[in-house]
Amino acid sequence: MDHELRKRGTSGLEVACDPFGLMARPSAIMECHMNVQPQLVLEHVSMVFRSEDLNFTALAPIDFEVPAGKFVSLIGPSGCGKSTIFNITAGLQPPTTGRVMIDGEDATGTIGQVGYMLQKDLLLPWRTVLDNVALGMEIRGVPMAEARERALPLLQRYGLGGFEKRYPSALSGGMRQRAALLRTLLIDVDVILLDEPFGALDAQTKSQMQEWLLQLFRDFGRTVIFVTHDVEEAIFLSDDIYVMASRPGRIIDKMSIDLPRPRERSVVSSPRFVAMKQYCLDLLRTAAGQPPQAAAA
C-alpha cells in the first residue's frame, strides 16, 4: 500500500495524508494541503493613507487566511477597508506593514497572481460579450482564436448562450456580472477576488446569481474571496466569514459556516442559518455602536 501510494503521489504530503485511502478524492487531498498551508495569507497587513496634513488608518493590522478551494467572505460596513484588502492582495497597493503570502511565497506588491473582479463590471463596451470574456486570457498571452474557442462553451453553459456576439449594452445587470465573472475565472489563477459583484442587482436577480456562483464554485474548484454587505448572502455562499468594523478598519470575528454543501435556497430558513445570521447582524450592530437587535426590540 505504501509503495503504491508513493508511486501515485509525488509530494510527501499526499503520501502522508493518505492513511485513510483518500487519494481518489481530490477535495480530500485539498483538505490535507489546507491543514498544512493555506493558499492565501495576509500577515499583519495594515494601510495608512498619508496626505500632507493627515495620516488616515484605513486598516489596522489584520491577519487573514484562506485555505485552498474554500469560499471566504469579508463583510463589514462601507469604508471599513474591504476593497483596500483586495487592492493589497492583488498587488495594486503596497501595504504600510505586513505581507501577502500566496502558496507560501511572498507575493506582496506582485500583480497577476490572483483574479480580481472590481465592484464595477468594467466590460469593454466596444467588444462583444465573447471577446470580453476572452479578454483575461488574451492579456495573459493566449492567442485570440484560442481564447474565443475556450470561452464559447462556457458562455453557452453558464447562461450567456445566444449573447456571444452582442455588446455589453444589450445585457441585463445580471448578465453583465456573469460575463465579468467568467472573464475573471478564465484567467488561469487559483485565487479569485470578487468585490461586491451582486451589490447593484435587484433581490431576485441577486438570488439567482448566488446560486449560479455556487455552481461555478463547484465546477471550477477555485479559492474565492468575496466581499459583501449582505449577511444572508455571505452565509449562504461561504465556508468562513471574516466580520469587519471601521475606524480603523479591522477584523472583529471569524465565523465558520458549517452548513453542508450543496446548499439549497431553503437553507436560509433553517434554525442554524437564522441563528448565524442573527449573531453576525448583532456583531455588526455592536461594532457600529448600536444595541443588538434582540435587545433593541
Ligand X SMILES: Nc1ncnc2c1ncn2[C@@H]1O[C@H](COP(=O)(O)OP(=O)(O)O)[C@@H](O)[C@H]1O
For ligand X, the binding residues (CB under 6 A) are 49, 56, 58, 78-84, 249
The torsion angles phi and psi of 261, rounded to 5 degrees, stand at -110, 155
The reply to whether 83 sits near Mg ion by the rule CB under 5 A is: yes
Any bridge partners for residue 120, and if so which? Answer: none
Nearer Cβ to Mg ion (82/176):
82
Q: How far is the CB of 82 from Mg ion (least distance, A)?
A: 5
The reply to whether 73 sits near Mg ion by the rule CB under 5 A is: no
Distance CA 110, CA 133 (A): 24
Q: How far is the CB of 238 from ligand X (least distance, A)?
A: 17
Query: How many CA within 13 A on the CB side of residue 160?
Result: 34
- Which of the ranges 38-46, 82-90, 162-170, 266-274 carries the binding residues for Mg ion, by CB under 5 A? 82-90
Q: Which does 283 bind (CB under 5 to 8 A by kind): Mg ion, ligand X, none?
A: none
Residue 216, helix vs strand vs coil: helix
Q: How far is the CB of 110 from ligand X (least distance, A)?
A: 20
Q: Which does 58 bind (CB under 5 to 8 A by kind): Mg ion, ligand X, none?
A: ligand X
Nearer Cβ to ligand X (54/297):
54
The reply to whether 210 sits near Mg ion by the rule CB under 5 A is: no
Q: How far is the CB of 104 from ligand X (least distance, A)?
A: 26
Residue 73, helix vs strand vs coil: strand
**Do 72 and 242 touch, CB atoms closer than 8 A?**
yes
**Do 59 and 97 touch, CB atoms closer than 8 A?**
no
Q: How far is the CB of 193 from ligand X (least distance, A)?
A: 12
| Neighbour count for residue 276 (Cβ, 10 Å) | 21
* Rg for the chain, CA atoms, rounded: 20
Run of H or E residues at 41: strand 40-50
Among residues 210, 283, 237, the alpha carbon closest in space to that of 72 is found at 237
The reply to whether 89 sits near Mg ion by the rule CB under 5 A is: no
Q: Which does 84 bind (CB under 5 to 8 A by kind): Mg ion, ligand X, none?
A: ligand X
State the helix-helix crossing angle for 129-139 and 144-157, rounded to 10 degrees. Answer: 130
Contacts of 57 (CB under 8 A, 6+ apart): 46, 47, 48, 248, 249
Q: Which does 115 bind (CB under 5 to 8 A by kind): Mg ion, ligand X, none?
A: none
Q: Which does 10 bind (CB under 5 to 8 A by kind): Mg ion, ligand X, none?
A: none
Nearer Cβ to ligand X (79/262):
79
Strand order in 97-102's β-sheet?
A: 55-66, 40-50, 97-102, 105-106
Assess whether the previous peptide bond of 262 is cis (omega < 30° from 0): yes
Nearer Cβ to Mg ion (122/144):
122
Q: How far is the CB of 255 from ligand X (least distance, A)?
A: 18
Using Cβ positions, the residue closest to Mg ion within the complex turns out to be 83
Distance CA 118, CA 211 (A): 20
Nearer Cβ to ligand X (73/83):
83
Q: Which does 78 bind (CB under 5 to 8 A by kind): Mg ion, ligand X, none?
A: ligand X
Nearer Cβ to Mg ion (58/102):
58
Nearer Cβ to Mg ion (67/76):
76
Instruction: Tell me which residues touch Mg ion (CB under 5 A).
Output: 82-83
